[in-house]
Amino acid sequence: MAAAPLILIGAGGHALVVAEACRALNRPVLGVLDDRADAPAITRLGLPRLGNLRDAPASGAWIVCVGDLRTRAELLAARPSPSTAEPVVHPSAVIAPSATLGIGVFVGPRAVVHSFAKVEAHAIINTGAIIEHDCVIGRNTHVAPGSVVAGSTSIGADCLLGVGCRVLPRLRVGDNCTIGAGSVVLRDAAPGARLVGVPARAIDLR
């Protein structure tokens, strides 16, 4: 059975990536919700604008295509029908048969989700990221391009793992953490931590 056409919530840069993945999958996109009539997915890909960013999709399946985690969380909290969210997995990604993906997940080109890993709802596993065996990636967490999460590691909800970072095996990273680009995490991280460097250390951004 053919996959249902998608509505993209957001039409910025991340929406370009999701829309092109849909094209590679031959999955139709009905259009986008965005406040801007000149957003990239409208002007560059020619997708129709169906309403504003916080409008409820009229019907059918949808996926959030906003990169900013706080905005994503706000949009997800306002969705009246979460069961109609659907994942998009680029055809070049590798998903182990034993891995599980939640609703609304995006997995980008050449990303890998390995054996018995679990990616919870609305997470982003971006281009070339690697989620090793037995990992858990929390709801609405963004694993940026080229990042690696080593085996049996748990990443909480609403986290940002910056471009090219590394998280070592069997660690626990709490909710709402940010790991800077290129950082290497060697120890567990408390909820809300901001980590940068090699090895990664917590910093205070207040």
State the catalytic residues: 133
Report yes or no: 70 and 94 within 8 Å, Cβ to Cβ.
no
- For residues 167 and 160, the answer to whether their CB atoms sit within 8 Å is no
Closest CA to 7 of 63, 69, 46: 63
What totals of helices (H) and strands (E) does the chain contain, helices first?
3, 23
Q: How far apart are CA 129 and CA 113, in angstroms?
A: 8
Residue carrying the six token digits 């890998």:
112
